[in-house]
Structure 1
């Protein structure tokens, strides 16, 4: 069995690639970073180090969690291809693969799509369909990738459609910036979750130990995005405002911990109202998430986690997404709005989106910035709340 994985970075090697390896797949990493590709091809194995206290590997539905001890896992049977300089090699591997996965970021999926289209065109029509999963921090990322593929294929898609199946996924594992000198080894937390849509695969799901297959993925995607991603980013933005450098350090501040916890209580209230999730289970899940963020063995910085604030403040992302739905239902959004206010103050000269956001705040009126950044209509119940915090940030910059 063979898996082609786009994105040979820390998530690709330390999470998706690791589980594919444990499923018995030969791994082919595809990346455009030449030094990384060379480094991977320069070794015959790499080690995934799980660090921190115990950890939990979460089972289907958030129940049946089993504690594990930290461990090292050696990954073998892999190679890497530079898709920028050797696209034909990547296409050839896709044509003969069983699985294609990605961990490249949602905005990069459009650059992956041409390789998959070309690989499908070369694929033996009698072989089992290619199983495609985009493992991104975004809702229904595989659908986004599939739409790009269909658009590129055009009229040829009718002939190619039967050669691939597409399944959305929800993935969760904290992989911080790596220590210097670690080579291609990866340090991660022990906890992970990989939920995958079952129906697209019929009776032939991919063999991925540790993943769980579900009939309805939406609750898993939104529980993760609106708890892990919302909480992580909120911690980063509140921490940056307070002048604290690390995520664990930010949560050691009781005031910040309370504000993050309040934001997650609001997203949990939405998940209960929308999906009927159990409030007690969600309370346990929130506590687990915050404990993971406090892991001192994963010294993540507020600057790394907070980068790309424009994306994180966009319409269907971790703040505006749940806050908009909560506001439409008449639920509280005070803590989420406060977190968005902290995001507006995120000022990092090394992050292009942060620079763009601060420029917009200086150059445009509050209503224009609110509409442009959040994608909300002016008559949406959340719009005036965000317009007010935009105006407040602009007053600070004046």
Structure 2
């Protein structure tokens, strides 16, 4: 409780009254007010207690600003105006803090709200984000991200012994998250990935299956009773289908009347064509008997042609292929992944043989389901014999 009597200070228009019992230091706590005229009328406003941080000098400073503003007719012209402005500023700062997001927050929203609904590879994005991006960039606020952070990400991911392609994929995902954040208004300083040099990739696969290797592979698969491995690889070799496309095949996708296989490109599917566009593969006599035999065993039109051990869709060709590679010894001592024989080599061989037969690249592109002709050129292989023949034409 303060006394009813105000006392003057050395500052004009600044007064105080003392609390009867409460102390502030060795002195009684003091409540300060300011007085000034507005349009000829005296106005008095209370500021607060000395224990709340008020002093005669601070009160004088506020009063001087108010009286100066009254004279020129701009700015806060009362203590109430000052308090309203301060409240608005604090509210704006609070809203700014709320709108300001960390890379971790932005990444999670991007994965769940955008990637999940628009990208077939969203699960891969989620894995890369949580394993590689979040540990390095997660706690950094979006507007604080800079070139140095991107370089740190490159070094960290490469330091795990991962391929250059993985480093590029992590940088690309970071760029996508930042672009999304710019669109949402969370990032205003531009994309920090801009100007960052991506690792130079050389993914052109140089390994394909020769005629002798084809005979050896399928002979061993039959001998060991690896029927699924045999049929999956045979289908890839004579249609050019990707492993994921083969794993997703059902009875209704096989048309033995028209000799066609429908490769569905459903939007958002993880196992369909990479382009998301449906296409057709053609059944030849090399694969027709195998497909006909498998279809007879299926109970419904939606049954998978090559189900996993528990009936689920496969995610990889399985251990039998690895066992065969070990037995054949084709990858022994081979460290360059482009020269290692894998299940994808059958698809690569399909394209290589089409080119060797003189099939135009646009046709090969369509049969392979490539988005661009450049991709087709990466996966085709010009045979040495063609080069020798071309050289002989100059003689």
TM range (shorter): under 0.3
TM-score (norm 2): 0.22
Structure number with greater Rg is: 2
Q: With a CA cutoff of 8 Å and minimum separation of 6, indicate the structure with the bigger relative contact order.
A: 1
TM-score (norm 1): 0.22
